[in-house]
Amino acid sequence: MRNFLALTLLSVLLGFANGQHLCPPLFIEFFPDPAVPMPVCIHFTMDAKRDWHAAKDYCEAQGSSLAILDVGNLYYEIRDYILGNPAWLDEGFYIGCTDEIHEGSWRWTDGSPVSMGLPHWYPGQPDGGLRENYCCLYYDDFMYNSCRNEEKLFAICML
């Protein structure tokens, strides 16, 4: 038993030395691009629901940003992760895209354009005009949706 514990401890220490755990506490490692061994660090803010601006401010206060999901397979990995958490299946999560600056022109918070239509957007979305300027992953399918401006949801932060 002692040898097993020693080997387990050694493997954990070697894992840290080899850079296998690169995300800070509360952040989960996702590897959306098999060709790139660097993880994307994701934090699901399950402590409180916030409107989009408060969620953005919260992520930035943590040194991160609202998640930009156009990195490799990141959208699918995040969606599968949410679907694997039964307690989350009736929730919504803000991500980092908005058309607040120019109605109908959806942009990620870094200024890059958001791909419209399938496979990420729910059919018929975005649909709320000036009443829905913020993008979220919404139950029960967790595809992109335009969400009401004042709606309070959890958020997904990214490093």
Identify the CA nearest to 153 among candidates 133, 137, 141. 137
Q: What's the burial of 59, exposed, middle or buried (CB within 10 Å: 0-12/13-18/19+)?
A: buried
pLDDT score, position 36: 79
d(CA 158, CA 66): 6
Identify the CA nearest to 64 among candidates 128, 156, 159. 159
Predicted confidence pLDDT, tens digits, the chain (159 residues) = 333 223 322 333 334 345 566 899 999 999 988 887 889 999 999 999 999 999 999 999 999 999 999 888 999 999 999 999 999 999 999 999 999 999 999 999 999 999 999 999 999 999 988 999 999 999 989 999 999 999 999 999 999
Q: CA 131 → CA 6, 43, 66, 96, 155, distances in Å?
A: 58, 27, 20, 17, 19
Q: Where are the domains of the chain?
A: 23-158
pLDDT score, position 20: 60
Domain 23-158, CATH homologous superfamily name and number: Mannose-Binding Protein A, subunit A (3.10.100.10)
